[in-house]
Amino acid sequence: MQPLKRFLPLAAFLLLVVLLVRGLSLDPTELPSARLGDSLPDFNLPVLGESVLRQAEDWRGEPALINVWATWCFSCRVEHPYLLELAQNGVTIYGLNYKDDPEKALVWLDDLGDPYTETVVDKDGLFGLDLGVYGAPETYVIDASGVVRHRHVGVVNEQVWIEQLAPYFEAGLTAGGSE
């Protein structure tokens, strides 16, 4: 009994070390979407630059990215060239123009190029709210049946694509990103 008791503080210390090391490797800012595994929430939004309305069902049929962007969002400009590259490689990207001025959005796409199959306009951010968007840029993956599979907050680059997004597209795509 006595020798065991002597190691009690050491054991307690080691336990604490394990807990703290675990704490270091956790990222408290990582926030999984509450919509994972659910169908894309219903929406009825105008397509940017056109007078057509789109519903969630229209985006079914193949896995796709939904990219939340706005002209006021600096990081969106950063990820834009990479989105163009993805689109060129055959990735379907739907744009969600989030709380933005549609006029400015059109100018932005004219100037920088348009990686989106189509962009819908969520001017007051209500669809964004249903989806759980809390800023821009955010990128969601939906599968062929319109179920939300993944959410990435922040800029999409090659590393994010390869590590987080590409796996959802592997079935239908041979190569994404750079070739």
Question: At closest approach, how far in Å is the CB of 5 from other proteins?
Answer: 15
* DSSP percent split of the chain into helix, strand, coil, nearest 5: 40, 20, 40
Show the binding pattern over residues 70-99: x = contacts other proteins (CB under 8 A), - = does not: -----------------------------x
Q: In the set 17, 52, 129, 162, which binds other proteins (CB under 8 A)?
A: 129
Question: At closest approach, how far in Å is the CB of 76 from other proteins?
Answer: 15
Helix (H, G, I), strand (E, B) or coil at 86: helix
Q: Give, as ranges, the residues between 130 and 149 that touch other proteins (CB under 8 A).
A: 130-135
Retrieve residue 38's tokens: 């659910």
Angstrom distance (rounded) from CA 140 to CA 65: 6
Angstrom CA distances, 143 to 19, 22, 92, 104, 149, stand at: 37, 33, 11, 30, 7
Nearer to other proteins, 52 or 126 (CB): 126
102 neighbors 123 (Cβ within 8 angstroms): yes
Give 138's Cβ-side CA count (13 Å radius).
Answer: 19
Residue type, 91: V
Nearer to other proteins, 92 or 151 (CB): 151
Specify the stretch interacting with other proteins by CB under 8 A; choose among 4-12, 28-36, 50-58, 108-116: 28-36
Nearer to other proteins, 115 or 132 (CB): 132
**Which residues would be at the binding site for other proteins (CB under 8 A)?**
28-29, 31-35, 99, 125, 129-135
